[in-house]
A and B are shown apart, each in its own frame.
Chain A
C-alpha cells in the first residue's frame, strides 16, 4: 500500500501548464505594452531559450523514471525497511 508516484508527475504537469500560461501573459504584456526594440525582443527570446532548456533537461531525467512505483506509507517506518528506526542506529 502506498501513494502512486504518478500523482507527483501529474502535479508537475499542472505546474508546467500554469508556468506556460503565465509566461504567455508576461510575454504578451512585453509585446503589447513595451516598445518592440532589439533589447526587448532579445529578452523575450532569451527567456524562451532558457525556459525550453530547463524543460528539455528536466525531460532527460523524467523520462528515465519508472512512474509505476509507489511510495510506501506504512512499511517505510518498519524496522525491515530503511526507516527512521534504523536511521538513528
Chain B
C-alpha cells in the first residue's frame, strides 16, 4: 500500500474530496479516521455510501488507523482522511507518523479565527498545529486539487501593517 495523501477535513468525505481529490490522486482506498464517526454506525454508513463503488473505504478510530496503515494493499494508492485536528493528535499519540499533512477544511466556530476562507483555528488549535510542525510534520493548506498550496506557518504569522508598522 502506498499512502499518497494525508488530509484533515471537517466535512470529511464530501463532494470536494470525492469529485476533486480522489480522481486527482487516482486513489483507490480511503481510510477515514474519526473517533466520532467510527462510533456512529449511521454516520459511517452515510459517508461510505457516498463514495464510488470502485473505492474501498473504511472509517476507523485513530488508534486503529496506526495499526491498519501497513501492508495490506501493496499496489494500491491510499488516502488517509481525518475528520478533525483532534483525530490527528490521537493518531500521533498512538504512534502514527505523517511527513506531510494537508489541511483542507476547518470551518468557522464562534471561538475560531479565520486564517484562510477554509481554515479557522482556535488559539489552542493554533498551538497544536505549531507543535505538530515542530515535531516533524509539514503542514500545508489547500482545499481543492488545483488551488495553490500554502504552508501553514506562513499564514499563521501575523502580517505587518505597512502603514503603522504594527502586527495585525
Same complex for A and B? Answer no
Binding site for A on B (CB under 8 A): none
Binding site for B on A (CB under 8 A): none
